[in-house]
Each structure stands twice: as structure tokens, then as C-alpha cells.
Structure 1
Amino acid sequence: MEPVEINAGGYYLRQLRADHRLDDRPALVEAFTDPVQQRFVTGYVVDDLHSASAYVELRASEWASGKRCSWAVAEPTTGDLLGEVGLKALDPDAGTAETAVWVHPAARGRGVAVAAVGAALRFGFGALGLHSVDYLHDPANHASEGVARRCGFSFVGPDAAGPDVRWTRVAP
């Protein structure tokens, strides 16, 4: 699948980049070395430019294979990376996916996650024809709970596969 850009109102969603025109790697390192991010976004070590390059390459390969649609959430005038949103665990046959989002520490508290998740959901339900999208988060992550509520997800309960709680949203 080819990456697409999305206008998300006050932000735009684009592919993560590390090239001569735009380099998201320093902001990725800042975000992934933040203690809050490390607590709630596990499974990734992005602590230098080399590992940030590998992260950008991973997201590009996931787009290409159709496993995950992942967007950098960017400031529209500068292109600065404010966070990332994605649709992962894509199952086009079943019409399902799971959303994922994180916000750079300097951009938290500004509604970035709500705008980004809303745009990703519109893409998933519209362009991909998904029927439902899940949202999982650590029960202690109250900011994520707020994002789920503001984006119209319904609370399901504890996730059977782990310590997270699960929310779901069905296509309009």
C-alpha cells in the first residue's frame, strides 16, 4: 500500500521522514526517551539517530506490506513532528484494525491526539472500508482514556490478552 497524506484540520498526517528536506529523527529520539512515553509506549528503543532511522524504515516497510498505516502528525507550516498515529493489526478481510497514537512531550495537551486519531479513523472507515477499530491503553494512562472518549470509542473492558483496557468504535 502506498502512503497517503491526510489533512487533519490544524495538523497534517504524512509519512515519517529522514531525508535532506525533513528529518524526524531528532524529534523521535526526544519523544522515545521521555519517561512518560517510555512508560506507555513499550517495545521500541529509539535513543539515537541510528535507531530512529530504523524506526522510520520500519514504518515505511509496514506501509508497503499493508500491515500498518502510520502517519507522522505534523505542524502544517513547519512540518515539525508532533506525534504519530496509526492503524495497526490491519485485517482487511475482517474489516478490523487497532489504532495507536503517541504525542511528543512538547505537543501534549493541545488536542493533537484527538485530531490525529479522528483523521486516521476517517481514513480507515472510508478509504479502507474497515467495520471496527479498537483502541487499547494502559489503565493508568488517563490521557489515552480521554482520547478514546473524545473520539467516540465505547469502553469494552480489560483486554483478554494483556494488562490493557480495550475500547472499540464501529463504522458510522
Structure 2
Amino acid sequence: MTTPPSSPVRVEAPGIVLRAYRPDDVADLEAAFADEAIALWNPGAYGPDAVERFMSSRNDWSDADHASWAVADPTDRLVGSVSVYKVDRDQGDAEIGYWVAPWARRQGYAVRAVGAASRFAFGRLGLHRLYLFHAVENAGSCAVALAAGFRHEGTMRESYRYADGVHHDEHLHGLLASDLGPEADR
């Protein structure tokens, strides 16, 4: 496994760019974090200076435990977020998480971002496996996982307490580097 660089590497894929967060993303991040679905299913940035802390933590890869990006559309407007995190160097695996801003949903951004981040994780970081978890009720996230090539591997009962305070059942999806074949950019 390769150690990630200390800051975000720009990744381009058809119709999207994965890039560092920038000061001009603040208004879009504030609007995204105010969205009920993002607030329910994703830990976010709340409280004073929260957006700046969020951007700073996502742009700092120096601990080598995550690779995180702002997802931008072809005009370079922020449309979402994707992260490969909880990187386990011994096992060669990590989790992947994402969200899409309300103004960008149902346009394929999440599937493309998860695909690009997965190829980076397997190719540039040398990971072997990615895990993707989502609440069973989050049907959109399940559709993204399947469309990005992740296999549904099971349901974990009451495995995570989301922002509503309830422990929800979660689907576990997995993707192996070998599932992508030569597309893994090795």
C-alpha cells in the first residue's frame, strides 16, 4: 500500500472533477449541510466555523488515514463530497462515503465520484478492498453503491446510530480491486 500525499490530488473523470475544497465552496457547503437528507445520513459540519473546519480536515491528508475530495461539476461548482477513509494499511482496506448536494441529485455525480475515488484507492493507494455502508432506508445510496460496482454483502442489524438518534440497520457493500480489473489504474 502506498501512503497518500499530504493534500488532495486532483482526479478528473467524465463529467466530474475531484478536487480540494476552496474558499468559494463555503456557500454551497453551508447550503448542503442545511439539507435534511445530508444532515440525517452523513456526519457534517455544524456550529461556528464548522464549514472551515470541515474543509481544512478534508484537505489535510497528512495523517494518511483518508483521501477526501470536493466533487465538482464541469463548471467547477461543488456538487458533493467523496472520501476514502478509515484506511487500514495493514489490511489494505478502507471505507468510502459520499453525499450529493440537493441541486445536483439524480444526475449521476455520486456514481461517477465513487467510481473515480475507488479507482484512485486501488490504483494510487494500492488498496485491496473498499467497504460502503448505508442505512437500509437510504435507497438512493444503495442504488449508487450498486451502480458503482459494489456488491451487496449483507445487512447489519442496528449497526449505526444516525443523526435521528436511532440505530438503523445498514447494508454492507464491498468492492475489490480485482472487481475493477485493469480500470483500477494501477
- TM-score normalised per structure 1: 0.89
Partner of 2:62: 64
Are the counterparts in 1 of residues 59 and 69 from structure 2 also a CA contact under 8 Å?
no
Using the TM superposition, give the Cα deviation of residue 60 of structure 1 relative to its aligned residue in structure 2, in angstroms.
2.1
1:82 paired residue among 79, 83, 89:
79
CA distance in 2, matches of 1:44, 1:85: 13
CA distance in 1, matches of 2:25, 2:46: 12
1:11 aligns with 2:16: yes
The superposition leaves residues 17-67 of structure 1 with CA deviations (integer Å, 9 ceiling, x where unpaired) of: 12xxxx1111111001111111211x333366x211111111123x12111
CA distance in 2, matches of 1:47, 1:110: 30
Are the counterparts in 2 of residues 24 and 81 from structure 1 also a CA contact under 8 Å?
yes
CA distance in 1, matches of 2:156, 2:130: 14
Q: Secondary structure at the match of 2:62?
A: helix
Alignment length, in residue pairs?
Answer: 164
Partner of 1:128: 125
CA distance in 1, matches of 2:94, 2:64: 12
Listed as ranges, the gaps of 5+ residues in structure 1 are none
Partner of 2:35: 34
Using the TM superposition, give the Cα deviation of residue 72 of structure 1 relative to its aligned residue in structure 2, in angstroms.
0.5
1:46 aligns with 2:51: no
CA distance in 1, matches of 2:55, 2:11: 18
CA distance in 2, matches of 1:129, 1:137: 24
Using the TM superposition, give the Cα deviation of residue 81 of structure 1 relative to its aligned residue in structure 2, in angstroms.
0.4
CA distance in 2, matches of 1:47, 1:139: 28
Using the TM superposition, give the Cα deviation of residue 117 of structure 1 relative to its aligned residue in structure 2, in angstroms.
0.2
CA distance in 1, matches of 2:46, 2:16: 24
Partner of 1:144: 141
Partner of 1:167: 173
- TM-score normalised per structure 2: 0.83
CA distance in 2, matches of 1:89, 1:27: 26
CA distance in 2, matches of 1:46, 1:147: 26
Tell me which amino acid in the other structure corresponds to 1:73.
Answer: V
CA distance in 2, matches of 1:5, 1:137: 26
Which runs of 4 or more aligned residues in structure 1 lie more than 6 Å from their structure 2 counterparts after TM superposition? none
CA distance in 1, matches of 2:146, 2:74: 26
Tell me which amino acid in the other structure corresponds to 1:65.
Answer: D
Q: Secondary structure at the match of 1:130?
A: coil
Greater strand share, structure number = 2
The superposition leaves residues 75-123 of structure 1 with CA deviations (integer Å, 9 ceiling, x where unpaired) of: 233x210000110111122110111010000000000000000000100
Tell me which amino acid in the other structure corresponds to 2:14.
Answer: G
- Which has the higher relative contact order, 1 or 2, with Cα contacts under 8 A spaced 6 or more apart? 2
Tell me which amino acid in the other structure corresponds to 1:86.
Answer: S
Partner of 2:184: none
Are the counterparts in 2 of residues 95 and 129 from structure 1 also a CA contact under 8 Å?
yes
